[in-house]
Amino acid sequence: MIYFDHASTTPIDCEVLEAMLPYMKDNFGNPSSQHSAGRAAAAGVLNARDKIAKLFGCKPEEVFFVSGGTEAGNWALKGACLANEGRHIIVSAIEHPALIESARDMERQGYEVTYIKPDKSGVIDPADVERAIRADTVFCAVMAANNETGVIQPVEKIGNICKERGVFYYADCVQTAGVLPFPTASVGAFGISAHKFYGPKGFGVLYIKDGEKISRLISGGKQERGLRGGTTNVAAAVGCALALEKAVKADNKKIAALRDKFVSGVLENIEGAHVNGGGEILPSHANVSFDGCDGENILFLLDLKGIAVSTGSACSAGAVSPSHVLSAMGLSAERVKSAVRFTLGKNNTQAEVEEVLRELKAAVEKIRAV
CA–CA distance, 123 with 145 (Å, rounded to integer): 9
The least distance separating ligand PLP from the CB of residue 308, rounded to whole angstroms, comes to 15
Cβ atoms of 311 and 340 closer than 8 Å: yes
The least distance separating ligand PLP from the CB of residue 179, rounded to whole angstroms, comes to 12
Interacting positions 246-265 with ligand PLP (CB under 6 A): none
Cβ atoms of 78 and 170 closer than 8 Å: no
Q: Is 285 in the site for ligand PLP (CB under 6 A)?
A: no
Binding mask 111-150 for ligand PLP (x = CB under 6 A): --------------------------------x---x---
Q: Could you give the angle at which helices 69-83 and 97-108 cross, rounded to 10 degrees? A: 30
Pick from 122, 174, 190, 180: nearest CA to 151:
122
Q: Is 315 a catalytic residue?
A: yes
Question: 41-46: long-range contacts at Cβ-Cβ below 8 A with a sequence spacing of 24 or more?
Answer: 41/234, 44/234, 44/235, 44/237, 44/238, 45/232, 45/234, 45/237, 45/238
Cβ atoms of 262 and 340 closer than 8 Å: no
The least distance separating ligand PLP from the CB of residue 138, rounded to whole angstroms, comes to 21
Interacting positions 62-91 with ligand PLP (CB under 6 A): 68-70, 73
Interacting positions 187-216 with ligand PLP (CB under 6 A): 193, 204
The least distance separating ligand PLP from the CB of residue 175, rounded to whole angstroms, comes to 5
78, 96, 228, 324: residue in contact with ligand PLP (rule CB under 6 A): 96
Residues 82-106: b if buried by 16+ CB within 10 A, e if exposed? eebebebbbbbbbbbebbbebbeeb
CA–CA distance, 162 with 370 (Å, rounded to integer): 52
**Closest to ligand PLP by CB, 29 or 191:** 191
CA–CA distance, 71 with 73 (Å, rounded to integer): 5
CA–CA distance, 245 with 54 (Å, rounded to integer): 10
The least distance separating ligand PLP from the CB of residue 122, rounded to whole angstroms, comes to 13
**Closest to ligand PLP by CB, 155 or 301:** 155
* Non-local CB neighbours of 367 within 8 Å, separated by 6+ positions: 290, 292, 293, 294, 297, 298, 301
The least distance separating ligand PLP from the CB of residue 222, rounded to whole angstroms, comes to 24
CA–CA distance, 204 with 240 (Å, rounded to integer): 8
**Closest to ligand PLP by CB, 8 or 32:** 8
**Closest to ligand PLP by CB, 9 or 215:** 9
**Closest to ligand PLP by CB, 92 or 147:** 147
* Residues near ligand PLP (CB under 6 A), total: 13
Choose the catalytic residue: 14, 173, 240, 315. 315
**Closest to ligand PLP by CB, 98 or 129:** 98
Cα-based angle 30, 35, 36 (whole degrees, multiple of 5): 90
CA–CA distance, 80 with 91 (Å, rounded to integer): 13
Binding mask 30-69 for ligand PLP (x = CB under 6 A): --------------------------------------xx
The least distance separating ligand PLP from the CB of residue 282, rounded to whole angstroms, comes to 11
Interacting positions 150-179 with ligand PLP (CB under 6 A): 172, 174-175
**Closest to ligand PLP by CB, 193 or 289:** 193
Coil, strand or helix: which one is 60? helix
Where in the sequence numbering do the catalytic residues fall? 315
Q: Which residues bind ligand PLP (CB under 6 A)?
A: 68-70, 73, 96, 98, 143, 147, 172, 174-175, 193, 204
